[in-house]
């Protein structure tokens, strides 16, 4: 099938194609948000052996660890947990402090790079294709999300829910009794690391609860939307100091 044909498949059919095509070289990458859980639910029903991968940054809220156990119990799934490199974290926090993310957007990006982006990159080396729960409606940065993405790295990235609305996600979760993250029931719109996520007020943007103290960093960790321009150059200098 061409990418255009794949892009038109319903989410479940696209996952079925990926599972059949790539088998153990395909994984769902999820932080257990509703979108990721929709993919987990679909994949588990298509193939109980489907791989589910997540990143444990070391700064997650307890409710996210509880979600990992819930997914294991509910689906009988083995959740593959990727951890940051110990030496990289040690050098980063020794140099910049454990709460470096509060100091400046480039240091926040550095923390995300060390604790999220690089561990996921190592994990993705074991697959040829992966799926994320990105939706175009989640933010301006994600408005151009393609269903089939061959430009984000050596692996094929699928965004089966790219065109879904929040209402469609909610309807699927309800109809299929998909397990949900406890903090989503406490006013969070999305949940990342504990110090970098908060509940949002009524009417606030869904991404407003992430890195809420930042004015110019972009509400992204770097996994889906990489820094560009001056931010990229500054981040690369900071990274170089940690890695070499």
Looking at beta carbons only, is 37 or 110 nearer to ligand SF4? 110
Give the span between the Cα atoms of 218 and 18, in whole angstroms: 31
Element (H, E) at 70: helix 62-75
Identified catalytic residue from 111, 112, 193, 221: 221
Q: Is 112 a catalytic residue?
A: no
Which residue lies nearer to ligand SF4 by CB, 109 or 136? 109
Residue 127 near residue 155, CB atoms below 8 Å: yes
- Tell me which stretch binds ligand SF4 (CB under 6 A): 15-23, 130-138, 188-196, 232-240: 188-196
CB of 100 to ligand SF4, least distance (A): 8
Residue 197: CB minimum distance to ligand SF4, A: 7
Ramachandran category for residue 58: left, alpha or beta (phi over 0 → left; psi -120 to 50 → alpha):
left
Nearest CB to ligand SF4, comparing residues 21 and 213: 213
- 103: which 2 tokens? 């100091």
**Position 134 contacts ligand SF4 (CB under 6 A):** no
116 lies in the binding site for ligand SF4 (CB under 6 A): yes
198: contact with ligand SF4 by CB under 6 A: no
State the minimum distance, in angstroms, from the CB of residue 195 to ligand SF4: 6
- Report how far residue 160's alpha carbon sits from residue 186's, in angstroms, rounded to the nearest whole number: 27
The site map against ligand SF4 for 208-237 (x = CB under 6 A) is -------------x----------------
DSSP 76-143: ---EEEE---HHHHHHHHHHH-TTGGGT-HHHHHHHHIIIIIHHHHHHHTT-SEEE----GGG-STTT
Site string for ligand SF4, 35-64 (x = CB under 6 A): ----------------------x-x-----
Three-state DSSP state, 187: coil
Helices then strands (H, E): number in the chain?
9, 6
CB of 9 to ligand SF4, least distance (A): 32
Instruction: Output DSSP code: residue 1.
Output: -
Outline where 157-201 has alpha helix (H).
Answer: 166-175
Two structure tokens written together for 224: 């889906």
When asked if residue 115 is in the footprint of ligand SF4 (CB under 6 A), the reply is: yes
Among 34, 105, 106, 192, binds ligand SF4 (CB under 6 A): 192
Site residues for ligand SF4 per CB under 6 A: 57, 59, 101, 108, 111-112, 115-116, 192-193, 195-196, 221
Catalytic residue ranges: 221
């Amino acid at each position: 099938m061409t990418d255009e044909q794949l892009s038109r498949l319903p989410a479940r059919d696209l996952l079925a194609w990926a599972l059949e095509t790539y088998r153990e070289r395909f994984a769902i990458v999820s932080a257990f948000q509703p979108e990721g859980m929709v993919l987990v639910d679909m994949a588990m029903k298509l193939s109980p052996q489907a791989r589910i991968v997540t990143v444990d940054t070391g700064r997650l809220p307890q409710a996210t660890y509880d979600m990992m156990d819930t997914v294991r119990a509910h689906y009988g799934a083995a959740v593959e947990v990727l951890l940051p490199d110990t030496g990289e974290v040690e050098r980063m926090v020794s140099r910049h402090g454990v709460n470096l993310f509060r100091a400046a957007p480039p240091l926040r990006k550095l923390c995300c790079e060390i604790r999220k982006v690089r561990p996921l990159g190592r994990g993705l080396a074991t697959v040829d294709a992966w799926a994320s729960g990105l939706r175009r409606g989640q933010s301006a940065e994600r408005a151009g999300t393609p269903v089939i993405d061959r430009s984000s790295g050596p692996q094929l990235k699928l965004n089966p829910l790219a065109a879904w609305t929040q209402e469609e996600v909610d309807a699927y979760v309800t109809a299929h009794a998909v397990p949900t993250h406890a903090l989503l029931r406490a006013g969070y719109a999305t949940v990342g690391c504990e110090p970098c996520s908060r509940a949002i007020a009524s009417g606030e943007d869904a991404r407003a609860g992430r890195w809420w103290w930042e004015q110019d960093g972009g509400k992204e960790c770097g996994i889906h939307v990489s820094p560009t321009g001056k931010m990229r150059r500054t981040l690369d200098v900071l990274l170089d100091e940690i890695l070499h």
